[in-house]
Amino acid sequence: MSKFAAFEQFEEYQYQDNSRENRRNRPGSPKHKQKNGRSRQPMQDIREMDDGIENWVPSYAKALDPKHHERQWVIESVGPFYRDQIVTDVTRLVKGGKEANVYACTGHPATGVDLIAAKLYRPRELRHLKNDAVYKAGRQLRDAEGKEMKGRRVKLALSKKTSYGKSVDIQWWIGNEYRTQTQLFAAGADVPKPIAHQGNTVLMAYIGDEYGPAPTLSEVRLPREEAAPLFQRIMDNVALMLDNHLIHGDLSAYNILYWEGGVYLIDFPQMVEARHNPHAYELLERDITRVCDYFAGYGLKTNPVALTHSLWDPYMGPGG
């Protein structure tokens, strides 16, 4: 019996009158057979239904040694999205990093997306992000659903670095990226479209093609005529982020993708809220300075301090 037929049979059984009296009075139904046979069979069939996740091994993982930690890490991290029919396979490693790896996945036909990027965080490494106190200043703690977490218990767990406190802290870093990317995409920023988030994994639109991912600005030599328009496009995105009270906090040529003449900003776990973080101005100036330094290689003469003030001063308003 197929799992769908079993489910339909279970639904039919669920809505029947299965009281003891009714079962006894059904014509041609032996009492014990009715009780121990037909009534239990749908439930047994439902229990035996297999969504395929237990036996799912993506192409990339098949090439790894069964005992290799990355194999199980990929299966466990991406498996829920396979079960939810968002991805069908993990094909290759796109980028390896200290805090996270990015993998190329094939999208399920129901998503309407051919390729999906899966960013898998290493929670242990997120505990040791450099200068993380700068990014955490003034932050609002949120749970996996994005709801703000308040209360003495949370603050105490974080200060004492208990297992619960570490879990909350890690979830903030990962959730911060997905929430920020979702907000910016909706606002019209040049960021990959966010698709889903669960646990240590964030899914987003894959920038690139079947032959390889989009390179970062640090990996390409731009046509000189593209430099000035792309610089302005990036600055427009920085301004758009600030309009949404956000500052990237770690922007550089290493986390700006270049594809088909356009740019895409990535890597948002360290994004800060300009209204609450006391280091907001300094982080904004550093972001703009790094972008200016990159484009100086193409002959663009800019003043990062003046550019920062041109965005920050109107944002803060009189007396800011």
Higher pLDDT, 141 or 32: 141
What pLDDT is stored for residue 297 in this prediction? 96
Greater pLDDT, 141 or 61: 61
- When mean pLDDT is compared over 11-15, 32-36, 197-201, the highest value belongs to 197-201
pLDDT for residue 274: 93
Beta-carbon count within 10 A of 108 CB: 17
Q: Which amino acid is at 121?
A: Y
Is the confidence at residue 5, as pLDDT, over 50? no
Q: How many other β-carbons are positioned within 10 Å of the β-carbon of residue 157?
A: 18
Residue 155 pLDDT exceeds 70: no
List all residues 6 or more positions away from 95 whose beta carbon is below 8 Å from its beta carbon.
Answer: 101, 102, 213
| pLDDT tier, 187 (very low <50, low <70, confident <90, very high otherwise) | very high
Residue 125 makes CB contacts below 8 A (sequence gap 6+) with 98, 99
C-beta of residue 192 within 8 angstroms of C-beta of residue 117: yes
Residue 267 designated active-site: yes
Distance CA 2, CA 251 (A): 52
Mean pLDDT of 55-61: 93
Cα 124 to Cα 146: distance, rounded to the nearest angstrom: 21
Handedness of CA 93, 269, 237, 181 (dihedral sign): positive
Query: Exactly one of 132, 169, 209, 267 is catalytic; which is it?
Result: 267
- Of 172-176, 233-237, 287-291, the poorest mean pLDDT is in 172-176
Is 51 marked active-site?
Answer: no
Residue 40 buriedness (CB in 10 A; 0-12 / 13-18 / 19+) = exposed
Q: Which residues contact 257 (CB under 8 A, 6 or more apart)?
A: 192, 207, 213, 214, 215, 216, 217, 263, 264, 265, 266
Tell me, what's the pLDDT at 14? 43
270-282 confidence digits (pLDDT tens):
889 999 999 999 9
Say which of 169, 190, 250, 287 is annotated catalytic. 250
Least confident of 19-23, 152-156, 248-252: 19-23
Task: Tell whether the model's pLDDT for residue 48 goes beyond 70.
Answer: no
Among 75-84, 156-165, 279-288, name the one with the lowest average pLDDT.
156-165
Residue 216's pLDDT is: 97
Q: Determine the Cα–Cα distance for residues 103 and 60; give it in Å rounded to an integer.
A: 9
Mean pLDDT value across residues 88-106: 94
> Which structural domains are found in the chain, ordered by start?
3-47 (no CATH), 53-131+172-209 (3.30.200.20), 215-316 (1.10.510.10)
